[in-house]
Structure 1
């Protein structure tokens, strides 16, 4: 499969890389890392990374602006995106050939060529494995810039190697990547430093979360509260792991209200939550998933479902 992807990359002069909406470090890491990898080895090709920019990820870079004309005869690659409904920029279907590279459950087998590995810690880890295959097959090189992106993506999706998705293979790849002289502190600072207003909101989370006797916890962040603290919806993503530090918590939800919907961020220390997420227009990994509801009444049903899930968990 990896050699088929490499052959397709060699075949096309224009390559456009997409990823999922509401990007996280692995979305940017795999997307920008793949772009750098292709440019490192095929400098004459036009390679673009597209999608709506998230200012919280500016420490990694910014996506490219691409005209509709560029899609004609182009190879399109989508990284880190389980289903078509979550692909950022619906022009992904306008290219000549579509490749899916992903590590989420393959519930939506889109694309002309698919490489899905649910055992991988991150899509960035998969892009490194593509580089390894290319090194053997076509003498590929990986630049310091490409290594930086892939390392950031792996760190982001493993929670600094704390999540169960972290494997021996993950550590092996991370060990190879830190041989490159990029600034790891700059990545960690960009990923984990918080402004004072965000830290104050974190204090609110600790003071106001609710947890039942079975370890199901939740916190609601309505838009009025975000305005009070001066925090954007995207900035709250850095707080979703806060409740993991609470003794007795098995699984938790962070509800974040947007103008027309409520974002549902699900995390777990054991109970599988991605099936619950699918019930509410979402999906993801077994222990980390996301969904969307459209009222606080519907949010109460999500809470009830999580409480039942934790009650039944053994």
Structure 2
């Protein structure tokens, strides 16, 4: 892990293209856009681009650029908040001259020529701010817009600072970021305003979840349910924390049927779930992970594995 190498490469290249993962969340966009703003403010002569698909619900944060394949030639590519290569949004990233990985997930896929990975960081946005603080005496510049984006990423990945990943350092950085000139109440409104359809689906989840004696809670959302509530599979990500507020729940899984697979969203208050996610074509953090399976029978296997993890966790307490 070398911040100095990252800084040197940013100084060296004229064209810098910044990627993040598919199905972006606030941390993916906050780190991607925040880093771009810092580079543009510091090196206005450089060509800096953001690539990936736009998520209409998050374009209030930042929007992507459209660039030709030839732009990747002799370009520095930076991939933010993406643990493995398969999840990089816009696979042209591999065409770059040099590739930097900046991430806070477990480094299970150590791709790239240079890697800045810190699993102790609350978010990749926190890592971007720390990168700025390391080199601000060397000329890196922070802007109001960069601060807004980075703050949004930290807020998103810490669940408004409620998750255990929010450390003293996280709060210290947040305190510095809010000193910049951006509309924090408006940002919170944009991040957390709930659409009517999502609110109604939340009601369905709260009426149909199950809780085992072990503390495992699950709920299944089929295509028919999604159609009934007029919600897309992607929109259900806003509801992933719903079951965590229920008394007695230690770990939970939300299974969402998509066109060709069933999305598995795993969360926990203690039991480690990322190893189970890895078993089912996924991965992530110890207490916040994702996976995918093909059939509803497979979801029962995921639930059985989660149940065992909860049992062991209780024994170890």
Q: Same fold, TM exceeding 0.5?
A: yes
- In the TM superposition, 1:281-296 aligns within 5 A as 281-296=281-296
For 2:172 and 2:135, locate their aligned partners in 1 and report how far apart those are by CA, in whole Å.
18
For 2:307 and 2:265, locate their aligned partners in 1 and report how far apart those are by CA, in whole Å.
15
Q: Once the 2 structures are TM-superposed, how far is the Cα of residue 244 of structure 1 from its aligned partner?
A: 0.8
- In the TM superposition, 1:205-284 aligns within 5 A as 205-284=205-284
Gaps of 5+ in 2: none
Residue of structure 1 in register with 2:14 after alignment: 13
The C-alpha deviation readout for 1:271-299, integer Å capped at 9, x for no partner, is 00000000000000010000011111111
Checking the alignment, whether the CA contact within 8 Å between 1:3 and 1:133 is kept in structure 2 is no
Establish whether residue 49 from structure 1 lines up as the match of residue 33 from structure 2: no
TM-score of the pair, normalised by structure 2: 0.97
Residue of structure 2 in register with 1:184 after alignment: 184
For 1:297 and 1:142, locate their aligned partners in 2 and report how far apart those are by CA, in whole Å.
50
Q: Aligned residue pairs: how many? A: 313
Gaps of 5+ in 1: none
Residue of structure 2 in register with 1:131 after alignment: 132
TM-score of the pair, normalised by structure 1: 0.98
Residue of structure 2 in register with 1:121 after alignment: 122
For 1:301 and 1:50, locate their aligned partners in 2 and report how far apart those are by CA, in whole Å.
37
For 2:85 and 2:197, locate their aligned partners in 1 and report how far apart those are by CA, in whole Å.
35
For 1:4 and 1:89, locate their aligned partners in 2 and report how far apart those are by CA, in whole Å.
24
For 2:273 and 2:110, locate their aligned partners in 1 and report how far apart those are by CA, in whole Å.
21
For 1:132 and 1:234, locate their aligned partners in 2 and report how far apart those are by CA, in whole Å.
34
Q: Once the 2 structures are TM-superposed, how far is the Cα of residue 250 of structure 1 from its aligned partner?
A: 0.2
Residue of structure 1 in register with 2:96 after alignment: 95
Query: Structure 1 runs of 4+ off > 6 angstroms?
Result: none
The C-alpha deviation readout for 1:161-185, integer Å capped at 9, x for no partner, is 0001010000000000000110111
For 1:61 and 1:108, locate their aligned partners in 2 and report how far apart those are by CA, in whole Å.
27
The C-alpha deviation readout for 1:46-71, integer Å capped at 9, x for no partner, is 11111111122122121111110100
SS at match of 1:170: helix
SS at match of 1:15: strand
Checking the alignment, whether the CA contact within 8 Å between 1:211 and 1:249 is kept in structure 2 is yes
SS at match of 1:310: helix
**Higher alpha-carbon deviation: 188-197 or 32-41:** 188-197
The C-alpha deviation readout for 1:218-264, integer Å capped at 9, x for no partner, is 11111111111011112111111000110000000011111111110
